[in-house]
Amino acid sequence: MADASYDAVIIGAGHNGLCLAAYLARAGMNVGVFERRHDEGGGAHTDEATVPGFWHNLHAQYMEFIDYMPFYRDFDLPSFGARMIKPQAQVGIAFADGRPPLVIYLPELADRTFKSIAQFSRHDAEVFNEIRRKVMDADRYIAAILYTPTPDESRGESADPEIAGKVLELYSSLGFGAEWMPRSPKVIIDELFESTELRATLYRQCVEWGANLHAGDAFGFILSVIWLCGNHYMSVGGTHTLAHAMASAALNAGADLRYTSPVVEILTTSGRASGVRLKDGRIIEARRLVASNADPRTTFLELIGWDRLSDFRRERMANWRFGPEHVLGTPSFALHEAPDYKSAQFNPDINKCFYTIVGFENHEQVSDYILQAYGGRVPERPGAGTWVNTLWDRSQAPEGMHAMNGWYFFPRASCLNPNEWDEVRSSYNARFLELWGKYASNMTRRNVISDKLYVSFDMERRIAMPEGDFSHGRLGTGMSFTMPRRFVYRTEIEGLYLCGASAGGGGISAAPGYNAFKVIAEDYGLEKIWRKPGRLY
């Protein structure tokens, strides 16, 4: 006999699991969410990583989907404590050799972006602003791709004709014919732009959201390089504040959240998902469905087991790979002073840029850096993308001091052994600080109160991201989430659904959770809220 019973059991209280729980509970289902850790949020994780009083985002940094996320508006997350700031200077790159910085501002401040890029190339400034304007004019349709379930070829599904038509119109307006579709973002960037300064900025921006710079496609360029470039929000109090708001919304809708309750097995009865078994031995019945926010390796190999998998799933898991595109290391620095960049003499906005690229003088250095990480090596040049959120949010550090967060791109967790990762933890931040000081003269050891580095090995153990991959991996064929596939949110096991990043992409978008709700609503006859008048998705 079961120890508890729900209509829907959700494995994992990451932000996608919380999203699905909230929608299902509002639709009338009795929902239980079971989380292995003591807290919710997954990659939306903020901690006093350096010293008490300094709050650092250990994984997710910027909130690029707030303008498009249905969960944020449908459940009025600000009423549960979510607060956002959108800095004017969004993306910047500083230089050590006396050049001005390059700064990309909010889309509505296109004249400032033009002026900054034109210092290096008027051609680049004109082309970038034109492409960005066209992409932002179609932004709702790009978002609709993200927030619409991937067509399931096992059910004969195809893309929504209105959305597909608008995206094809965008391609046409950009001059992207069929020959552009398979081109990598790097090839497209190099074709469109001539200055090394803008190329370096866009290379780095491309990989921030996990698009493969060297082997992606034109949609990756549009999505990661243009749409998500300079459209970032900062979560006041840290990204975990947003996770708390999501959990509160799910609880308010009627869901149950159970912490320190790791699931160790997905139970099936007559081929149908019927519940879960917890580590403490309790059996939780799922009267209608089980949904997993975990990665595919955990879901299928650990919770179900190889012997219980279909031939299709065995083949898919054999071809599933984690990284290298989505693997990060997170440096955290507690500082006396915020960085004061040499480039600020030309444009002081680089000192108040939300996301600042440090450590690269040209686009070749960025490309080499990425290729080294993709190839299983810790990059020789310790460049980083950096955020100093305390420039806007004083709650994240003691008065007069600053908390810095950053991202390195690192190899997969298994590429180094534990002793080698220990060496990286103990030395890489110091190497970065030495390089950082060449760009901002006040960035010396005397300015650092404490620092900490979380590597991909830590991400795997602490936030349950295999190999440190924030998108939970993908098929080795390189198929994108926009292409028809078999069993994306539904699985071949009746009543078992996926709602995590492997189904709908990484980042704090809540798209996988929302799309899983759409699929479940279709299967169980729940209200199709996305079809209400005025909603595209």
DSSP state of 330: E
pLDDT tens column, 145-163:
999 998 887 788 888 899 9
DSSP state of 99: P
Which residue's structure tokens are 């899983």? 516
- Pseudo-torsion of CA 151, 152, 155, 159, nearest 10°? 10
Tokens, residue 328: 């990060």
For residue 304, is it within any domain? yes
In this prediction, what percent of the chain has a pLDDT beyond 70? 98
**Confidence band (pLDDT; 50, 70, 90) for 474?**
confident
Name the packing angle between helices 139-146 and 122-137 (round to 10°): 60
What angle is formed at CA 278 by the lines to CA 275 and CA 282, rounded to 5 degrees? 80
Q: Cα–Cα distance between 33 and 9 in angstroms, integer?
A: 6
74 and 113 housed in the same domain: no
Q: Burial, 438: exposed, middle or buried (Cβ in 10 Å; 0-12, 13-18, 19+)? A: middle
Q: Cα–Cα distance between 488 and 473 in angstroms, integer?
A: 13
Reply yes or no on whether the pLDDT at 333 is more than 60.
yes
99 and 23 housed in the same domain: no
Cα Rg of the chain (Å, integer): 23
Element (H, E) at 157: none
Q: Cα–Cα distance between 9 and 21 in angstroms, integer?
A: 9
Which residue, 460, 452, 387, is CA-closest to 49? Answer: 452
Say which residue, 480 or 44, is predicted with more confidence.
Answer: 44
Reply yes or no on whether the pLDDT at 477 is more than 60.
no
Record the pTM.
0.95
Residue ranges of alpha helices (H) inside 138-175 are: 139-146, 161-173
188 and 277 housed in the same domain: no
Residue after which a domain boundary falls, among 413, 448, 466:
466
Between the alpha carbon of residue 192 and those of residues 127, 173, 203, the distances in Å are: 7, 14, 13
330 and 346 housed in the same domain: yes
CATH number of the domain enclosing 307: 3.50.50.60
For residue 164, is it within any domain? yes
Bridge partners for 385 per DSSP = 357, 407
Q: How many independent structural domains does the chain possess?
A: 2
Q: Cα–Cα distance between 490 and 495 in angstroms, integer?
A: 8
Domain housing 439? 84-148+158-232+323-466
Residue after which a domain boundary falls, among 466, 490, 519:
466
For residue 65, is it within any domain? no
Q: Cα–Cα distance between 178 and 190 in angstroms, integer?
A: 18
Element (H, E) at 504: helix 501-504
305 and 354 housed in the same domain: no
166 and 213 housed in the same domain: yes
For residue 10, is it within any domain? yes
* pLDDT mean over 42-52: 96
448 and 312 housed in the same domain: no
258 and 315 housed in the same domain: yes
Which residue, 175, 172, 184, 227, is CA-closest to 205? Answer: 227
Bridge partners for 31 per DSSP = 8
State the pLDDT at residue 198.
99
Q: How far is CA 181 from the centre of its chain?
A: 23
409 and 518 housed in the same domain: no
pLDDT tens column, 105-120:
999 999 999 999 999 9
Beta strands in 319-473 (DSSP E): 320-321, 328-335, 355-358, 384-387, 402-409, 448-454
* pLDDT mean over 315-339: 93
For residue 55, is it within any domain? no
- Pseudo-torsion of CA 355, 360, 362, 366, nearest 10°? -80
Which residue's structure tokens are 């290298």? 324
Residue after which a domain boundary falls, among 466, 496, 512:
466
Between the alpha carbon of residue 285 and those of residues 3, 36, 167, the distances in Å are: 8, 18, 43
pLDDT tens column, 492-533:
999 999 999 989 888 999 999 999 999 999 999 999 999 999
Q: What is the mean pLDDT of the chain?
A: 95
346 and 423 housed in the same domain: yes
State the pLDDT at residue 153.
78
For residue 294, is it within any domain? yes
State the pLDDT at residue 481.
47
For residue 58, is it within any domain? no
104 and 162 housed in the same domain: yes
**Confidence band (pLDDT; 50, 70, 90) for 207?**
confident
For residue 22, is it within any domain? yes
pLDDT tens column, 150-199:
888 778 888 889 999 999 999 999 999 989 989 999 999 999 999 999 99
